[in-house]
């Protein structure tokens, strides 16, 4: 799956400004907070209440060309849940969504996490296709689908 090619060379913050989700001042403040605390800029922007998770997810899809998948509208088969243990899903904030042949579809809040994708490919022996979902959607899906496992 890797290396990744950006669909646009614009940075996430630039895309959010362009889409009128945040202002330049918002971005400057978020970058300041990120410098102090670390973390991903999208997560910092959400934590500061400047944007919604969906705004960040849609900007990432525009930036890298990953498709967006709102998990609340998706039904995940119980067989799929056996492919990746719950602790791994929580660790990487991802959710297995579908498997066709040797191709496994994952929803991830951070589709740029190369280590996560490589680990899942190693665990499952599958080719991974990544979709973007919000952190909240993924956490809710894990809580819903793994509760009886």
Region 37-41 average pLDDT = 89
Task: Give tens-digit pLDDT for 49-72.
Answer: 999 999 999 898 888 888 999 998
Question: 38: exposed, middle or buried (C-beta count within 10 Å: 0-12, 13-18, 19+)?
Answer: exposed
Q: pLDDT band for position 106 (50/70/90)? A: very high
Question: Can you give the length of the chain in residues?
Answer: 149
High-pLDDT (> 70) share of the chain, %: 93
Domain 71-145 has CATH 3.30.300.160: yes
High-pLDDT (> 90) share of the chain, %: 74
Domain extents for the chain? 12-64, 71-145
Task: Give tens-digit pLDDT for 82-104.
Answer: 999 999 999 999 999 999 999 99
**Residue 2: its pLDDT value, please?**
47
**Residue 118: its pLDDT value, please?**
94
0.85 surpassed by pTM: no
CA dihedral 56, 67, 134, 79 (to 10 degrees): -170
């Amino acid at each position: 799956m890797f290396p990744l090619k950006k669909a646009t060379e614009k940075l996430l913050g630039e895309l959010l400004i362009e889409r009128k989700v945040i202002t330049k001042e918002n971005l400057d403040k978020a970058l300041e907070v990120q410098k102090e605390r670390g973390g991903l800029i999208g997560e910092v922007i959400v934590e500061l209440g400047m944007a919604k998770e969906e705004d960040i997810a849609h900007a990432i899809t525009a930036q890298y060309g990953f498709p967006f998948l709102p998990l609340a509208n998706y039904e995940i088969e119980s067989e799929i849940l056996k492919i990746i243990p719950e602790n791994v899903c929580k660790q990487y904030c991802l959710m297995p969504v579908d498997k066709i042949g040797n191709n496994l579809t994952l929803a991830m809040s951070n589709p740029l996490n190369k280590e996560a994708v490589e680990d899942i490919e190693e665990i499952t022996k599958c080719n991974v296709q990544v979709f973007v979902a919000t952190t909240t959607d993924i956490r809710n899906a894990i809580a819903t689908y793994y509760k009886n496992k």
